[in-house]
Amino acid sequence: MRFRLSQRTARKSALALLAVCAGALGVLCAVPAARETDLSATRTSAYRIPKRKLAPFARQFASPLPILEIVIAEDALPLPEQEPIPALMRVFDRPGGNRLTDMPRALLPFVSARHRGAISMHVHFRQHSIRLKIRDEKQKPSRFDLCGFAPDDDFVLIATYMDRSLIRDRMAYELAAPLIPFTPKAKYVEVFVRNARARLDEATYSGIYLAMEQIEAGPHRVAVGPLEIAAPPDGLGGGGWLLQSDRFFTNRPSFWIDDESFTIVAPGSRALTPEALDFIQADFGRFHRLMRQDPMNDRLFDLLEMDSFIHMMLLQEFVKNIDAFRYSTFFHRSAGGRLVAGPPWDFNLAMGNARDITSPEGFILQRQPYSKELLRNPGIFRLYQERWRELRRPGGAFSDERILDLVDAIVAEVGPAASHHYGRYQELRLPGRHFIFTATYHVDSFEKNVRVVRDFLLRRARWMDGALAEMAGPEDLFSEETEREETEAEAIGTAWWNESESPPLRSRP
């Protein structure tokens, strides 16, 4: 006889099993049950901290960055498409520095964890990104102020392995913050991952990660409000959704338009009825068709939040992101609101790090989805040029002064701990080593890799100043000459950077 479980029963069974595993992990680690659903500030510091085995490496380990110790219920974290597993997390983030022998600021006994990222799981086998969800003893979401972020239950730890400078992602978010209303906050952390039987040592040290707010709808994240369905969608009726354009995810609600896949981030699965899914697909579909097929239509200025598109295009072009508007791209719309581009996400292959896109010269947006259509509109192109000039003025978001100040501030934060990461992954010091998609600059230190990023941004900003100023209209951006200039620039590869001509950090070129 064959028995079939309903979806609701299967979900309850899965949650029960997860709760049992979490309980088992708590017993194994001698952790008391959680009593609070709001785990922010110092409320969890009252927990009795169980003893664990620290190797000499761990006893001597000290960092100016926060330290996260993640204890998992199994031998390894599951893959992105698999179910998360129970974990316990100790958070050491006191001002002035942290040690694993300190009393942690917080102990979170009920966390679910798994790897995240699609391609990154297959292109290197050292450090992988991690998705964390904070839970209580009943496996319900619990808020926590990780790294000083607004309290929430959902965070990600972004692996920095494919960016030897460690700063590309962080730099992009800092550049975006004044321009894009919700830009995820990011802080560096050092991470240990082990199972409950393993001790803390060199093998369980996973290196430096970028702790980040997950892109989702919420009062402290992307403000889209509740879903409102308007049938048929027209004008600005309806809305209240958040989409991600990326590779197709089989385990998340998605749809296709032509040959592009879109994943529904919000509303969540509970509110995503068949009617809601159909509406979101139809609602975004009309914006999609307008941008891709009819970019000269004057309705673009009524239906798109144009500042968000201008700022997103300028950010992506400035950092020369190979994935711009193709992967890790988000769109959202609140009820009755215009379509908004953003939030920004994923810049580890930008700023000269992608193997085939290394030069600080040449444009790329004339080849990327959405931008290659929108920038053909003379009105949009004119705004694009004008906004670039504003951003480059003294004190502007993309001014040389701000670029240098941001590099200095980021290096001051992560630099003192960079030797830990480079010690864990010693291949980062090998000048000829590259990682599938990444460029090779033949430099052998953290400091030199940061100089590459700094010099790339300064040279690119000055090149864009001249190139955009000389263009009379969109026809110049899409000309054969512009395409030829990009081809010639990329033929140079990484040879544009000369160590002998690059001033040391904290010096102004």
Q: What's the pLDDT tens digit per position in 451-480?
A: 999 999 999 999 999 999 999 999 999 999
The tokens of 288 are what? 């999609």
Mean pLDDT lowest for which of 17-21, 220-224, 366-370?
17-21
Burial of 275 (0-12, 13-18, 19+ CB in 10 A): exposed
pLDDT value at residue 167: 98
pLDDT band at 241 (very low <50, low <70, confident <90, very high): very high
Overall average pLDDT of the 294-318 stretch: 97
Q: What is the DSSP string of 363-412?
A: --GGGSTTHHHHTTSHHHHHHHHHHHHHHHSTTSTT-HHHHHHHHHHHHH
Overall average pLDDT of the 227-245 stretch: 92
Residues 430-452: tens digit of each pLDDT = 877 767 788 989 899 999 999 99
What is the average pLDDT value for the chain, to the nearest integer? 89
Percent of the chain whose pLDDT exceeds 70: 87
Contact 388, 201 (CB under 8 A): no
Q: In what order do the strands lie in the sheet with 340-341?
A: 254-257, 260-266, 241-245, 329-333, 340-341
Residue 284 has pLDDT above 60, yes or no: yes
Contact 87, 70 (CB under 8 A): yes
Distance CA 288, CA 374 (A): 11
Residues 125-142: tens digit of each pLDDT = 678 999 999 998 888 999
Burial of 447 (0-12, 13-18, 19+ CB in 10 A): middle
Residue 43 has pLDDT above 70, yes or no: no
Rg (CA), the chain: 24
Distance CA 181, CA 342 (A): 9
Residue 396 has pLDDT above 90, yes or no: yes
CA 71 vs CA 28, 52, 112, 197, 249: distances in Å: 11, 11, 11, 9, 28
pLDDT value at residue 3: 37
pLDDT value at residue 39: 58
Question: Helix (H, G, I), strand (E, B), or coil: what is residue 56?
Answer: helix
CA 114 vs CA 3, 85, 133, 157: distances in Å: 30, 7, 9, 10
Distance CA 153, CA 132 (A): 8
Overall average pLDDT of the 272-280 stretch: 94
Residue 120 has pLDDT above 80, yes or no: no
pLDDT band at 119 (very low <50, low <70, confident <90, very high): low
Residue 61 has pLDDT above 70, yes or no: yes
The tokens of 254 are what? 């998605």
pLDDT value at residue 431: 78
Residues 17-26: tens digit of each pLDDT = 444 444 444 4
Overall average pLDDT of the 265-290 stretch: 93
CA 196 vs CA 31, 108, 156, 434: distances in Å: 12, 15, 22, 34
Mean pLDDT lowest for which of 47-61, 284-298, 404-418, 448-462?
47-61
- To the question of pTM greater than 0.75 for the whole model, the response is yes
Residue 42 has pLDDT above 70, yes or no: no
pLDDT value at residue 259: 86
Distance CA 447, CA 503 (A): 11
pLDDT band at 32 (very low <50, low <70, confident <90, very high): very low
pLDDT value at residue 482: 94
Distance CA 5, CA 3 (A): 7
pLDDT value at residue 17: 46
CA 46 vs CA 41, 107, 378, 463: distances in Å: 11, 9, 62, 56
pLDDT value at residue 248: 66
Percent of the chain whose pLDDT exceeds 90: 75
Per the model's pLDDT, the better-predicted residue between 69 and 46 turns out to be 69
pLDDT value at residue 15: 46
pLDDT band at 118 (very low <50, low <70, confident <90, very high): low
H/E segment holding residue 134:
strand 130-134
pLDDT value at residue 509: 61
Residue 217 has pLDDT above 90, yes or no: yes
Overall average pLDDT of the 23-52 stretch: 47
The tokens of 457 are what? 């941004």
pLDDT value at residue 31: 35
